[in-house]
Amino acid sequence: MGTTRIPTVSIVCPLYNAENSILQLHKSLQKQEGVDIVEIKYVLTKSKDRTEDLLKMSGVSYEKIKKKDFSHSLTRERAAMSAKGQVIVLLTQDVEIKDKEFIKKLIAPIVDREVQATYARQVTKYNNIEKYTREHNYPRESFVTSMADLEAKGLKTFFFSDAAGAVDAKTFKELGGYDGKDLPISEDMYFAYKLIMAGGKIKYVAEAKVYHSHNFTVKELYERYKLTGEFMKINPEIAKYGVNAAGSGMAKYILKRALKDGNWKVIIRYIPDMAARFVGMKVGKR
């Protein structure tokens, strides 16, 4: 870090059926070095598994809400708006943190006032299509994005991830978070759009790495992209920057890399996977 001051950090992390990951995640957060974590705001949606029992047994504090009250945007917004820290770190329950200086690395550009938000490099443990989507979205080199990149990057200018990201607390609150909107998906992109259009900057921090692994079925992908299509429909000011261009760029990258690796499992899955994304997006935008 370019400065010597240690910032205060609030962590916001929604939980739901998290019995397989919560204790490992919490332990990794307790081991973080070089930062002052003043609070970890777990928001537990009433679960069917042992998440709550594990939290109680471990003496971990949390807020509990009903399933009908959960919202990807509003649940995070409420917790973030009341955060005590100077920097808000946004996480999801299924990220795996191995580095004791992960948060220090993630928030350094915010502390040094280089940018107002950052997001980490995400890699998967699986040798599936997600391996290549992660490579495409989270490369090995860090970079900063601002309004100056709109013409060249289009929609990618607003790429940001609250699965493992951070934002200056004052900035988040001044911009009004997610504007009190109940967004079913892409709430991170919504905030990134607001930040960029307000003249802010976002940094992708490649040296801050987490493992974040999924193995979605074709049906699950369809549902996700249907929601993404719905998001684009109700936010045309964001969609106008080129949804199709961003999607086709990733599709070409996946095929090229799978062929180069001789990854037949991905090659066989490629057409139904891309079709689910394309059709889901189209249906959602209607």
In this prediction, residue 168 carries a pLDDT of: 98
Looking at the chain, the domain(s) classified CATH 3.90.550.10 span 8-213
Main-chain dihedrals φ then ψ at residue 72, nearest 5 degrees: -55, -40
In this prediction, residue 215 carries a pLDDT of: 87
In this prediction, residue 180 carries a pLDDT of: 95
> Could you report the per-residue pLDDT of 105-131, keeping only the tens digit for each?
999 999 999 999 999 999 999 999 999
> Could you report the per-residue pLDDT of 12-52, keeping only the tens digit for each?
999 999 999 999 999 999 999 999 999 999 999 999 999 99
Residues 6+ apart with CB under 8 A from 279: 222, 225
Region at 256 (left for phi over 0; alpha for psi -120 to 50; beta for the rest): alpha
Where the chain has pLDDT below 70, the residues are 1-4, 243-247
| Superfamily for the 8-213 domain | Spore Coat Polysaccharide Biosynthesis Protein SpsA; Chain A (3.90.550.10)
